[in-house]
Structure 1
Amino acid sequence: MSQLLKLNIWFEGSRPKTIPAAIVPVIVGTASVETGLTLHRFVLALVVSIALQVGVNYANDYSDGIRGTDQDRIGPRRLVGSGLVNANQVKLAAGISFLIAAIAGLVLAIMTSLWLILIGCVAILAAWFYTGGSRPYGYSGYGEVSVFVFFGLVATVGSSYVQSQTIESISILVACR
């Protein structure tokens, strides 16, 4: 298999169509701030959000793949379920994505407020246990709630917070719309 084909398989496995769901709340949260843009904080927030999205996509692929829930899937192929990539490699890719999110988030926390470390840890755990672990909550009614909380409230309000260092009511309002 050529390097280009391998790269394309990994790119498609990252589920690029989901990336706008990670980008939009960061843009909206940042735009809701009246104090102006601090570009490096905006970029770091984007890195955190995109890396979490890619990480949860790989983690979902891994967990569903080892459970066999993706074998009869209709739609885009999954890396593990289709046998394209070894499950441990996909698990490693999820871990690397979460590590990238953690590093960017740690830098943001050092620049703004250390309580963001707790939020980041909870976000990574929520991303993994969405379909991972012995009792994944993504298969119950909590999956949609988690998406709203983390890619709605947390991403939008958090992006606003790293700019203004206050939780502004407008950011909560736009996160809920």
Structure 2
Amino acid sequence: MKLKHWIYAARIHTLPLSFSGITLSYLISKSRTNECITTSYILCIITALLLQILANFSNDYGDSITGVDNIKRIGPKRTIQRGLISLSEMKKAIFILSILSFLSGVTLLYNSIKNIFIFFLYFIGIFICIYSSIKYSIGDYPYGHKVGMGDLFVMICFGFFSVGGSSFLYTHTLCMDMFFLSLSIGFLNVGVLNVNNMRDLENDYESGKYTMAVWLGIKYAKLYHVFIILFSIFFGGYFIFLNQKNTYQWLFFIFISILLIFHIRKIILIKEKKLFNLELKKLVILTFLYVFSIGL
């Protein structure tokens, strides 16, 4: 049955990342404005999910073309690699998702923005997000194969656009504390990418994919990961401090932070590359819980 292959290609376990930042900014914005922002939130979720699936399909297609997906790869086998979906079918799906992402994004902007200049800026932002989703792995010079570029774009799209960008759509105001929150969620998402890249370090190097993990080597990639997670915790805690949250929220945040510290310890001690798969899934779940530790 083809449908289950497409669901597998969508990588369901990664999808919470696409709406974590959006949900966090929604929870905070809802407490700061009297306006009804639920419609904007729903449209944000739909657009983000479409973009995330677009990125996953593009990664499946691009890594198959470049040879990154091969028998030496430790991560889950992709649909094209396994012969479940053809290159032509995936190419059509990428085109359809690009159109759907664009239409969903424009509908979101039409519903949320009245100022023509700001509408135009966000309109350009939609194209940047679609381009980023596709070009991470596809093309003659995919930016995901260049040192640090994947990490940078994840910070921009899953941090600044996801948290700060959606917050402005909800409230039509810019708040400095949301910048710190964008950094916090952005670093967690970069952490997920880094775990993925540490797992596939050797195969990526042989395939000419030079991620931060490849450039740093496994020892310093783990140290890089430690700083990523600690910076995330710091900026999240600073946001709570600025907003004088109650004791219960501090306790929830500290509890999730402790789990993140345990995650760091696991990453440092890992010797067998396959174990990175489990930590990757854990970090996705912790990122989602982290949202509620700050937003509720």
After TM superposition, the score normalised by the length of structure 2 is 0.56
Q: What are the superposed Cα offsets for residues 95-127 of structure 1, whole Å, 9 maximum, x if unpaired?
A: 222222211110122221412111000111111
More divergent stretch after superposition (65-74 vs 11-20) = 65-74
Structure with a larger share of its residues in helix:
2
Question: Aligned-pair distance for 1:167?
Answer: 2.5
Q: CA deviation at 1:81?
A: 1.7
- Please state how far the C-alpha of 1:49 moved relative to its aligned partner: 0.8
The answer for the alignment partner of 2:167 in structure 1 is: 160
- Specify the alignment match of 2:52 in structure 1: 53
Aligned length: 173
Separation in 2 of the partners of 1:30 and 1:169? Answer: 16
CA distance in 2, matches of 1:38, 1:148: 25
Cα deviation for residue 93 of structure 1 reads 1.5
Q: Where does structure 1 lack aligned partners over 5 or more consecutive residues?
A: none
Tell me which amino acid in the other structure corresponds to 1:53.
Q
Residue 138 of structure 2: aligned partner:
132
Report deviation, 1:75.
Answer: 2.7
The one-letter code matched in structure 1 to 2:53 is V
2:21 is aligned to 25
Question: Unpaired runs of 5+ in structure 2?
Answer: 185-296
Give the 5 Å matches for 1:69-80.
69-72=68-71, 73-80=73-80
The amino acid across from 1:68 in the alignment is G
Q: Are residues 1:68 and 2:67 paired?
A: yes
- Work out which of the residue numbers 128, 139, 150 in structure 2 matches 1:143: 150
- Counterpart of 1:14? 10
Paired position in structure 1 for 2:246: none
Please state if 1:122 is matched with 2:128.
Answer: yes
One-letter amino acid matched to 2:82 = S
Counterpart of 1:105?
105
Q: Work out whether residues 13 and 78 of structure 1, in 8 Å CA contact, stay in contact via their aligned partners in 2.
A: yes
Once residues 130 and 139 of structure 2 are traced to their aligned partners in structure 1, the CA distance between those partners, rounded to angstroms, is 13
The answer to whether the 8 Å contact 1:79/1:90 transfers is no
RMSD: 1.4
Deviations 1:20-58 (A, max 9, x none): 110101101212321155111000000111111000000
Contact map agreement 1:68 1:81 (CA 8 A) in 2: no
The whole-number CA distance in structure 1 between the counterparts of 2:143 and 2:79 is 22
Give the superposition deviation at 1:168: 2.2
CA contact (8 A) 1:66 1:80 kept: no
